[in-house]
């Protein structure tokens, strides 16, 4: 579904991604784990078209997308839940969710209205599905998003991404800044999303949580993939255990 070949990106003189290659097959959950500053966010931003690729290729559904603007990539079915969530605190929960449907709703041209009525862009139906997944968002739908806890805001950010009806959901550190118990809730939701057929690309410093839900994973260090394998292989790897599953990470998840 997603295929990345020798991807390079950075900021000004700073070269961050130094030739990243990876792939995600339909229905898979793939984790990219790495320390703070390794380039995980830069990788997802580049796939999402928020940051321009300097070299290399990104293919989604066998089509190159690395020259596409961000909103077209969302319309193609590839959506990012950004690090830090970026929800609109002064809008209600429901308004935040509806914003997630904006790019797909706008894409519905008048001559496609019948399709939309037939449910292709059934915004109310999608909203109901998101409410089913996150009961708390339904309960708090008319509350200002800024009043939600960190975990609830993360659920809102995931819900908002789901409003665009993605086929590939990319998540940037969904466990960051979230209480340990809530991390479990969020990861349970990720498992449910995967079971429902959604393809997932997840980046995390919290290797333990990410590898527990992922089928496969990659380890990124200073903009390069240094290790890859099944989640099991990575969990068993001494390098991963030492650098990413050490004592200091255990407290986040347990």
Ligand X SMILES: Nc1ncnc2c1ncn2[C@@H]1O[C@H](COP(=O)(O)OP(=O)(O)O)[C@@H](O)[C@H]1O
Residues of this chain that bind Mg ion (CB under 5 A)? 40-41, 83
Residues in contact with ligand X, counted by CB under 6 A, come to a total of 11
Q: What whole-number distance in Å separates Cα of residue 37 and Cα of residue 177?
A: 17
Per CB under 6 A, does 40 bind ligand X? yes
Nearer to ligand X, 164 or 205 (CB): 205
Q: Which is nearer to Mg ion, 40 or 66 (CB)?
A: 40
In the bound state with Mg ion, the residue whose beta carbon lies nearer, of 68 and 83, is: 83
φ and ψ of 114, to 5 deg: -60, -40
x/- track of binding to ligand X for residues 2-31 (CB under 6 A) = ---------x--x-x---------------
Chain position whose Cβ is nearest to Mg ion: 41
Q: Which stretch binds ligand X (CB under 6 A): 36-44, 69-77, 90-98, 138-146?
A: 36-44
Q: Does 39 bind ligand X (CB under 6 A)?
A: yes
Q: Which does 36 bind (CB under 5 to 8 A by kind): ligand X, Mg ion, none?
A: ligand X
Binding to ligand X, residues 67-126 (CB under 6 A): none
Residues 6+ apart with CB under 8 A from 4: 20, 21, 22, 23, 47, 56, 57, 58, 59
* CA-based torsion, 230, 236, 240, 241: positive or negative: positive
CB of 79 to ligand X, least distance (A): 18
Q: Which of 36, 24, 33 is nearest to 204 (CA)?
A: 33
Between residues 163 and 220, which has the closer beta carbon with respect to ligand X?
220
Instruction: Kindly report the number of other CB atoms within 10 A of residue 104's CB atom.
Output: 22
The footprint of ligand X on residues 41-70 (CB under 6 A) is 41-42
Query: Of 101, 94, 95, nearest to 79 (Cα)?
Result: 101
Nearer to Mg ion, 130 or 170 (CB): 170
Q: Which is nearer to ligand X, 11 or 111 (CB)?
A: 11
How does 136-169 read in b/e, with b if 16+ C-beta sit within 10 Å? bbbebeeeebeebeebbbbbbbbbbbbbbbbbbb
CB of 172 to Mg ion, least distance (A): 6
**What is the token pair recorded at 220?**
């990124």
Residues 74 and 104 sit within 8 Å (Cβ to Cβ): yes
Q: Which helix (H) or strand (E) holds 43?
A: helix 40-47
Catalog residues that contact ligand X under the rule CB under 6 A: 11, 14, 16, 34, 36-42
């Amino acid at each position: 579904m997603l295929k990345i070949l020798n991807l390079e990106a950075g900021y000004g003189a700073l070269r961050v991604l130094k030739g990243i290659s990876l792939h995600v097959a339909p229905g898979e959950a793939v984790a990219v784990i790495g320390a703070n500053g390794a380039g995980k966010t830069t990788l997802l931003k580049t796939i999402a078209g928020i940051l321009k690729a300097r070299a290399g290729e990104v293919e989604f559904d066998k089509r190159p997308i690395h020259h596409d603007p961000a909103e077209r990539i969302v319309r193609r079915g590839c959506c990012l839940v950004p690090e830090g969530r970026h929800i609109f605190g002064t809008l209600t929960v429901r308004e935040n969710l509806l914003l997630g449907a904006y790019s797909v709703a706008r894409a519905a041209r008048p001559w496609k209205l019948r399709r939309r009525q037939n449910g292709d862009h059934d915004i109310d139906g999608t909203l109901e599905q998101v409410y089913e997944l996150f009961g708390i968002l339904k309960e708090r739908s008319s509350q200002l998003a800024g009043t939600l806890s960190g975990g609830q805001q993360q659920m809102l950010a995931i819900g908002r991404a789901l409003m665009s009806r993605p086929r590939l959901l990319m998540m940037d550190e969904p466990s960051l800044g979230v209480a340990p118990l809530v991390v479990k809730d969020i990861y349970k939701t990720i498992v449910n999303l995967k079971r429902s057929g959604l393809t997932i690309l997840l980046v995390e410093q919290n290797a333990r949580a990410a590898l527990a839900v992922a089928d496969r994973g990659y380890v990124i260090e200073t903009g390069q993939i240094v290790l890859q394998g099944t989640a099991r292989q990575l969990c068993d790897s001494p390098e991963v255990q030492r650098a990413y599953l050490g004592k200091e990470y255990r407290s986040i998840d347990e």
